[in-house]
Homo-oligomer: A and B are copies of this chain.
């Protein structure tokens, strides 16, 4: 059976019953359909019990065969529930760009899925649409402002606020708008990003109240005036209307797993071109309401986990009590040079060659002082010799690796991992930040490149060097950095698999996201608007006359 067929045959509990499991009354939630709800913001504003545990799930570098991070995460949540721990899963909401493009959904797989999967992978409760709408309303207000009196003397050539769509659409990367004559606006070069990469998405994920949301929106720098001074949303007077458009989107969404574990699914920045973590509001709500909150960060530890620990954790006010690194035999063999069609065949040499990738991600987490366990997500083609090689290698580095079978067996197939996670989360640990925000921007870039990616240094383009000087003069030098980098390699070259060294990271441009509170560094050829593949997933979908969907995943 496909993931969609398993999901379509499952029985969901009414969302108020899921809410009741974590002590939420009908007054604490707003239903969106019978199986989704928005949760009141009051839980994200309370202080969680320090004894409540936070578990972060990350993975090795993603590969074409897939690692199944979401599947293991959902299985882990269900397993903790089976062990009678009050558990909440707190994950990101999917973007429709990859759903219609190539990545597929982000709702787990097999018997470890969150539900209702069709809704979650499509419009869900409309948060991404609200963000798209708010982002583009701000863009329209800005273009209207420069078309009218332009009191702030905003320079049309220096507007950095782009439009967004929650769609993979390469032709929108570089556009000219405002053509057609005097009354059609001021022509200028601009472009669209995907909504998941937008500053408003980051702001939504980092805000903890309406007041905070509005304050952050006001601080957004939309461009520069003719004196090259930054111009903010607050200077233009647009922060209230943009906040109004996000007043519901900021509330966390409640759903459930196939085994009826409560799942809070909220916020969806990508980890390659954004900060890659679900919302602080959702995670904090989980920490308030449950003994165990199991959360994730996008792609490998070089991207999502680094940003979770360096950007999200300081806002959350809590670091993970334990981390899980998901790996598969297949993905490690691919990292070791085995070709895609051959991954079904045992190949201990390829596995050995790929294991440094896993070890690198282990070291990444260890240096922060977060206790960790490796989850080997089981596939039928795995051989015992291959599994033993991974376990032995991990053991030699003092790390436990546990086989999970979340896809086929759900929580039952993830019990061993859950027990180990409980142990790790009970260990005393000391968190060590990667860098001090007050270091110069160059040093923070180098810290991530050398300590997390394993590279030599960050090589800055002339433009990036000039920007660092300007940003520091503007008082933005003490913000954390958010590196946009390919997910496929620890380097900025997607073809360099395994655990490369002796590489530089090429920073071509910086983008100030002052409302979000970080500086984005664009590296290599990374693009903030994906394109569609030759055969988009959309073409394989089918809907019957009665509304039944096939081929969604």
Contacts and interface: CB of A to CB of B under 8 A. Distances in A.
Interface of A: 30-34, 38, 96, 100, 122-123, 126, 129-130, 132-133, 136-137, 139-141, 143-144, 147-149, 165-180, 183-186, 189, 209-211, 214, 237-238, 240-241, 243-245, 247-248, 531-532, 534, 536, 538-539, 541-547, 549, 552
Nearest to A529: B184
Contact of A536 (B34, B141, B180): B141
A552 B149 CA distance: 24
A247 B543 contact: yes
B175 A241 contact: no
Given A147-B170, A180-B173, A214 B543 contact: yes
Contacts of A539: 141, 237-238, 241
Contacts of A531: 144, 183, 185
Contacts of A175: 175-177, 179
- Specify how many copies of this chain sit in the oligomer: 2
21 contacts: A31-B33, A96-B133, A96-B137, A96-B245, A123-B245, A126-B126, A129-B129, A140-B169, A140-B532, A141-B532, A143-B169, A147-B171, A148-B534, A170-B185, A171-B184, A173-B184, A175-B179, A209-B545, A210-B547, A237-B539, A238-B538
Nearest to A176: B176
Contacts of A532: 140-141, 144
Nearest to A187: B171
Given A126-B126, A144-B531, 5 more contacts: A96-B245, A171-B184, A244-B543, A244-B549, A247-B543
Contact of A543 (B32, B133, B143, B243): B243
Contacts of A244: 122, 541, 543, 549, 552
Nearest to A181: B174
Contacts of A144: 170, 531-532, 536
Main secondary structure of the interface of A (DSSP, over half): mixed
A328 to B, nearest CB: 30
Given A547-B247, A552-B244, A177 B171 contact: yes
B538 A241 contact: yes
A137 B241 CA distance: 27
A307 B248 CA distance: 35
Contact of A167 (B137, B179, B189): B137
Contacts of A186: 171
Point out which of A122, A126, A183, A240 has the most chain B C-beta atoms below 10 A from its C-beta: A240
A76 to B, nearest CB: 31
Nearest to A214: B543
Contacts of A169: 136, 139-140, 143
Point out which of A31, A33, A123, A143 has the most chain B C-beta atoms below 10 A from its C-beta: A123
Contact of A133 (B129, B140, B176, B536): B129
B543 A210 contact: yes
Nearest to A544: B210
Contacts of A183: 170, 531
Point out which of A137, A173, A183, A210 has the most chain B C-beta atoms below 10 A from its C-beta: A137
Nearest to A148: B534
B167 A177 contact: no
A167 B139 CA distance: 10
A130 B34 CA distance: 19
Task: For the complex of A and B, list the 7 residue pairs with the smallest distance between their C-beta atoms, beginning with the closest.
Answer: A129-B129, A171-B185, A174-B180, A241-B538, A140-B169, A174-B179, A171-B178
Contacts of A96: 133, 137, 245
Contacts of A122: 244-245
B137 A100 contact: yes
